[in-house]
Amino acid sequence: MRKTIVVATRNKGKAAEFREMLAPLGYEVLSLLDMPDSAAPDVVEDGATFAANAEKKARSAAAALGRPALADDSGLVVDALDGAPGVYSARYAGENADDARNNEKLLRELAARGERREDVAPGAAALSAARFVCALALHDPETNETTFAEGACEGFILDEARGAGGFGYDPLFYSPALGKTFGEATPEEKHRLSHRGQALRAMAEKLRT
């Protein structure tokens, strides 16, 4: 019998990534998109860290649904912006901001800093070193135990978007290891190197044991 994990997100991109990586381990992966809107309440992400926000979301969903819930909090940490947008990545340009507005604000803030490197990506300038960070929390309501895993990947923010894949800041995030942005990468390439992919592999290893 397959085990079921509910991913506490209504983000289609995240839900797809979790499903692609956990399904091969024998898990049926659902998300809040598969549940009635009233099944799990929205959670105010007011934690000071990615891990705190992930745990809060996982506990809330698990309590509401009565089954194990996996939540992530992830974001972009930009050196030239002293770590911003950080835990505010999804709402960097405001509570109802979409990816385009967040990306526009990021480029505007970095342009104001005036830092540029021409030796990172062919045909584009790198405005800052940056990293994607992901914290995962899996809460089991039967045991009241929470399991954590984290991942991070290093790269640079380019002065232009490249690629139409991924979501969020992916088209601006250049991975030297791939030689392209996450927006240009295939799902397999991104999973292999991404912060979420690393965190999911770490969580998968814990699930195996």
Residue 1 has pLDDT above 60, yes or no: no
What is the average per-residue pLDDT within 54-78? 93
**34, 73, 82, 98: which one is catalytic?**
73
Which pLDDT value is given to residue 136? Answer: 97
* 99 catalytically annotated: no
Say if residues 21 and 204 touch (Cβ distance below 8 Å): yes
Residue 70 has pLDDT above 90, yes or no: yes
Residue 15 has pLDDT above 80, yes or no: yes
Q: Which residues contribute to the annotated binding site?
A: 9-14, 73-74, 167-170, 190, 195-196
**Comparing C-alpha atoms, which of 67, 184, 71, 201 is closest to residue 136?**
71
Please give the structure tokens belonging to residue 172: 């601006």
Distance of alpha carbon 178 from its chain centroid, rounded? 18
pLDDT digits (tens, 9 = 90+) for 158-208: 999 999 988 899 999 999 999 999 999 998 898 889 898 899 889 988 887
Which pLDDT value is given to residue 38? Answer: 66
Q: Which residues contribute to the annotated binding site for Mg(2+)?
A: 73
Residue 205 backbone dihedrals phi, psi, to 5 degrees: -65, -40
The full set of domains in the chain, from first to last, is 3-208 (3.90.950.10)
Q: Tell me the C-alpha distance between 165 and 185, whole Å.
A: 7
Which pLDDT value is given to residue 197? Answer: 85
Which pLDDT value is given to residue 118? Answer: 95
What is the average per-residue pLDDT within 87-95? 93
